[in-house]
């Protein structure tokens, strides 16, 4: 909505609270969110490229600026050095499904990846391209929320993407639908009462540029960079569905 006010790029770092009963080694109920949204000029790959350059810059500088801290972690929780190709490797979702099929995995191109196939694809990419970080784009429509822009060439798929570290997802993002009529139509198709999100939809009626973005969890990035077994190791006071104090 901030882009409606002609803010071409919006960045935010702040606390995120997640009210879901996710008891896994990569989910927290409270974490630090790194969010960005930006205007597009021609194609949603502009978002992928900006995030890719940002992450490569961050990964490279972590090795030099925080070498001492990383060595301390490595002494207690040994991990292999994180590898990141520059530029970041992009993989189309359907091409990723072909790689999984060739490796003997059963995964439909019209369904979201499972944890198993997600990790398997990460291993395949690491073997073929020697990188722990890559982008997967063009997810099927039923794997994305209503506000995701559809692929203009094949509406069964979307202008969306995930980023992966060591074979596991660290963020999901997409080009957002900026046309209020299409947005209302997609909400209705997904069973969402349009009246309940009217303020959101109405904001786009003033005119909004094509845009996209993503939201990262800082703790999850640290978890996978240092290849820690549990995300709770990355937070001083981790909050999960069964821990509120201390």
Q: What is the pLDDT of residues 28-43, one digit of tens each?
A: 999 999 999 999 999 9
Instruction: Determine the average pLDDT of the residues in 91-115.
Output: 96
- Condensed to tens digits (0 to 9), the pLDDT of residues 156-187 reads 999 999 999 999 999 999 999 999 999 999 99
Residue 187 falls within a domain, yes or no?
A: yes
CATH of residue 104 = 3.30.930.10
Q: For residue 196, how many other CB atoms are within 10 A of its CB?
A: 9
**pLDDT-based confidence at 9, cuts 50/70/90?**
very high
Of the listed ranges 1-10, 13-22, 30-39, 158-167, the one predicted with least confidence: 1-10
Residue entry with tokens 């957002």: 176
Instruction: Determine the average pLDDT of the residues in 91-103.
Output: 97
Residue 63 falls within a domain, yes or no?
A: yes
| Contact between 44 and 152 (Cβ < 8 Å) | no
**pLDDT-based confidence at 231, cuts 50/70/90?**
very high
Determine which one of 166, 172, 176, 178 is catalytic: 172
Assess whether 166 carries a catalytic annotation: no
Determine which one of 26, 176, 178, 211 is catalytic: 26
Assess whether 172 carries a catalytic annotation: yes
Determine which one of 30, 109, 169, 235 is catalytic: 169
Residue 243 falls within a domain, yes or no?
A: no
Assess whether 20 carries a catalytic annotation: yes
Q: For residue 217, how many other CB atoms are within 10 A of its CB?
A: 21
Residue 42 falls within a domain, yes or no?
A: yes
Q: Rounded CA gap, 95 and 131, in Å? A: 17
Assess whether 18 carries a catalytic annotation: yes
Assess whether 220 carries a catalytic annotation: yes
Residue 245 falls within a domain, yes or no?
A: no
Residue 239 falls within a domain, yes or no?
A: no
pLDDT score, position 206: 87
Total domains in the chain come to: 1
Whole-number percent of the chain with pLDDT over 90: 95
Q: What is the pTM of this model?
A: 0.93
Which domain, by its residues, includes 50? 2-234
Assess whether 211 carries a catalytic annotation: no
Residue 246 falls within a domain, yes or no?
A: no
Determine which one of 20, 75, 127, 195 is catalytic: 20
Assess whether 156 carries a catalytic annotation: no
Helical ranges in the chain per DSSP H: 45-65, 67-76, 93-102, 115-129, 180-189, 198-203, 218-225
Residue 35 falls within a domain, yes or no?
A: yes
Determine which one of 27, 144, 176, 186 is catalytic: 27
Whole-number percent of the chain with pLDDT over 70: 100
User: Sign of the CA dihedral 76, 80, 81, 83?
Assistant: negative
């Amino acid at each position: 909505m901030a882009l409606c006010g002609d803010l071409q790029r919006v960045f935010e770092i702040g606390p995120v609270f997640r009210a879901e009963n996710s008891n896994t080694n990569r989910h927290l109920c409270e974490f630090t969110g790194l969010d960005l949204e930006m205007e597009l000029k021609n194609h949603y790959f502009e978002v992928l490229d900006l995030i890719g350059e940002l992450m490569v810059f961050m990964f490279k500088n972590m090795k030099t600026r925080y070498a001492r801290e990383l060595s301390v972690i490595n002494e207690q929780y040994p991990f292999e050095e994180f590898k990141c190709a520059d530029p970041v490797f992009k993989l189309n979702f359907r091409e990723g499904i072909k790689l999984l099929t060739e490796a003997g995995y059963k995964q439909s191109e019209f369904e979201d990846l499972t944890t198993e196939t997600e990790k398997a694809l990460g291993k395949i990419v690491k073997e073929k391209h020697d990188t722990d970080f890559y982008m997967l784009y063009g997810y099927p429509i039923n794997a994305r929320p209503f506000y995701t822009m559809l692929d203009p060439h094949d509406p069964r798929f979307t202008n969306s993407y995930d980023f992966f570290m060591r074979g596991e997802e660290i963020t999901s993002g997409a080009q957002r639908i900026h046309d209020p009529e299409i947005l209302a139509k997609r909400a209705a198709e997904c069973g969402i009462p349009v009246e309940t999100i009217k303020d959101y939809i109405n904001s786009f009626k003033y005119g909004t540029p094509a845009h996209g973005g993503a939201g990262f969890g800082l703790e999850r990035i640290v978890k996978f960079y240092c290849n820690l077994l549990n995300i709770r190791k990355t937070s001083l006071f981790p909050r999960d569905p069964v821990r509120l104090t201390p």
